[in-house]
Amino acid sequence: MKNFIASLFLLFPLTLFANSFCQSNIDDLPIQQNGRIKPLLIHAGETLKILTGKKSWEGANPSTTYCELSLNTPIDLTMPIEHVELKTALSLTTKAKVIAYKDAINFKDDLRRKMVLIKEESSYKKSLQQFLNRLGLYEQLITGDDWMIYSKGQWAPLKAVQPEDVMTSKNTYISQHGDRYLVELTMHKLGLPHWALVISILALIFYVSFRSFYPGLFLASLTLLTQVTYITFRIYVSQRAPITNMYETVLFSGFGALALALIIGHYRNEKKFILVGLTYNAMTMMMINFAGGMLNPQIGPLVPVLRDNFWLSTHVTTIILSYSALALSWVLANFALMQKKFKGMSTADEKHFVDLIYTTLKYGTVLLGAGVILGGVWADYSWGRFWGWDPKETWSLIVLLIYMAILHGKYTSWIPNNRFIPLVAGAFLSVMMAWFGVNYILASGLHSYGFSEGGAMFLGTFFLVQFIILGVTLNPKRKIA
């Protein structure tokens, strides 16, 4: 009987057993991928995101789709295609947005040869590389090689495991190693980033709509608690500081900005800090939830240089917290510019805004200076040199010098109040260049382990919007209330 079942298993997806297995609750099955043990649902969603740009296919459970593909069930997955030259190479029209994987396979060898012939790095070469990587992952998936099952005390591809071992792999693994891996499934199902976004928006509405300050303060605190919970989950799952990729730095910067706003607002007895903290926090949570492929929430293994938790937790945390403080100054400056332009602003109000901006600027610049120094010490420890004019290092120094010049100019009255505010608003573009631009546009240097695909459009839009705000609000005729 066992031999008969085994033969049916090998004939997937032609058997009822295969269908019933994939349709059952298999979200919590342990799998091994990239040196990490995680629930099937997490890996299935991440794999589908890479292959199709979506975490689920046609509304089906990601685990079910992943299972059926692993058992070679015919599913017409499509790959997103954006580059115009790649569309031409695939015989697609310029309006086409996707190609079916079953058709894409026919172009594999030809496009691999074309990629090898392209010597210089270009967007077309990157598109070819991404196409081939996706195709390779798809082929691994449909042959069952991507799904590693725990069987008889070791990890093996799905196709090499007996059906009875597949059904008992979860219980076998938990009995031998515990159920710690299931925490990641709990984190995923709680959907804390979505809740943090909703609560932060509600806090902003309460803050603006109600006279009483306390409902908004309560919701702001609840937002912070939600993010602390999510960050704690990620620390527990990854066993490291949650600041190793663009997703985590954006998440931590929003959290840091709101935390700093609450602390500074409390000591300064100033409600505006809470407003700007919530505003920036809501922006970061929108990015976390809706940025698509630009920010990847996947928890993966670290390159060797990042495996030192002490330096990771000090240097990167300090840098991101400095960005958080500088982001508060940026939001305050833009608020002041818009208010002066459309509502009018007295000299006293302008002076008050300048004082608030100056406060956040001091915190941000001191933290940034400390972060740059700590980064140099880490570089000396890891690479044997304190400074090397790497793009990330160079831009961090540029940002520090810009903000030090602004602080010095304000302290010596060299920069008047009416120039200080737009200068601070524009200065944050240097932060965005150091933070996002080096990763998404320059994409070179020793810090390449943190680089991500895409994002150039986002950065360009950000710069354009800020220039428009500056252009609209910098009116030579000053409007006094």
Phi, psi of 52 (to 5 degrees): -120, -10
- Are 228 and 258 members of one domain? yes
Secondary structure letter of residue 59 according to DSSP: T
Q: What is the DSSP letter of 301?
A: P
CA distance 33 to 149: 10
Closest CA to 244 of 236, 235, 254, 257: 235
Whether 298 is covered by a domain: the verdict is yes
What does pTM read for this prediction?
0.86
Share of the chain above pLDDT 90, in %: 47
Encoded tokens for 300: 């993966």
Residues 6+ apart with CB under 8 A from 402: 427, 430
Instruction: Tell me: do 189 and 97 sit in the same domain.
Output: no
Position with higher pLDDT, 353 vs 460: 353
454: left (phi over 0), alpha (psi -120 to 50) or beta: left
Same domain, 162 and 308: no
Residue 14: what pLDDT? 39
What's phi and psi for 30, nearest 5 deg?
Answer: -75, 135
Separation CA 219–CA 354 (nearest Å): 27
The answer to whether residue 479 is domain-embedded is no
159 and 244 in one domain? no
User: Is the domain of 196 the same as that of 307?
Assistant: yes
Q: How far apart are CA 245 and CA 313, in angstroms?
A: 13
Q: Can you read off the two tokens belonging to residue 263?
A: 């602390």
Per-residue pLDDT reduced to its tens digit, 296-318: 888 877 665 556 567 677 888 89
Q: In the listed set 175, 198, 228, which residue is the last one of a domain according to the structure?
A: 175
Tokens of 346: 């007295």
With the C-alpha atoms ordered 96, 101, 106, 111, is the resulting torsion angle positive or negative?
Answer: positive
Least-confidence region, from 5-14, 338-347, 436-445: 5-14
Same domain, 161 and 195: no
Shared domain for 133 and 268, answered yes or no, is: no
| Bond before 30 cis per omega within 30 degrees | no
Note whether 132 and 228 are same-domain residues.
no
Report which DSSP code applies to 313.
I
Same domain, 104 and 78: yes
Residue 236 maps to a domain: yes
Round the average pLDDT of the chain to a whole number and report it.
Answer: 85
Same domain, yes or no, for 225 and 144? no
* DSSP H or E stretch at residue 183: helix 183-190
Residue 270 maps to a domain: yes
Q: Which of 123, 151, 175 is at the close of a domain?
A: 175
Does residue 95 sit in the same domain as residue 234? Answer: no
Say which residue the tokens 């071992």 belong to.
165
Give the single-character DSSP code of 28. T
Which residue is it, tokens 């459009």?
Answer: 457
Per-residue confidence (pLDDT) for residue 158, from 0 to 100: 83
Give just the sign of the alpha carbon dihedral 264, 269, 273, 274: positive
Q: How is 412-459 classified by DSSP, letter by letter?
A: TTSS-HHHHHHHHHHHHHHHHIIIIIIIIII--SGGGGG--S--HHHH
* 3-class state of residue 317 by DSSP: helix
Confidence of residue 193 (pLDDT cuts 50, 70, 90): very high
Domain total of the chain? 2
Q: Is residue 12 part of a domain?
A: yes
Which structural domain, as residue segments, surrounds residue 167?
Answer: 2-175
Which of 116, 141, 175 marks a domain boundary? 175
Nearest-angstrom CA–CA distance, 10 and 13 = 9
Alpha-carbon distance of 37 to 180, in angstroms, equals 9
Q: Based on the domain organization, do 149 and 276 belong to the same domain?
A: no
What's the whole-number mean pLDDT along residues 408-416? 90
Q: What is the pLDDT of residue 447?
A: 43
Residue at 478 is within a domain: no
Q: 378, 333, 389: which is closest to 358 by C-alpha?
A: 333
Q: Is the pLDDT of residue 402 over 90?
A: yes
Confidence grade of residue 12 (pLDDT, cut at 50, 70, 90): very low
Span between the terminal Cα atoms of the chain, in Å:
89
* Rounded alpha-carbon distances, angstroms, from residue 293 to 48, 73, 165, 212, 308: 12, 27, 35, 40, 27
Structure tokens given for 54 = 């979506």
pLDDT band at 238 (very low <50, low <70, confident <90, very high): confident
Would you say residue 481 lies in a domain?
A: no
| Tens digit of each residue's pLDDT (9 = 90 or more) over 110-151 | 999 988 888 877 778 888 988 999 999 999 999 888 888 888
* Residues in contact with 66: Cβ distance below 8 Å, sequence separation at least 6, in sequence order: 40, 43, 44, 47, 48, 141, 147
In a domain, 180, yes or no: no
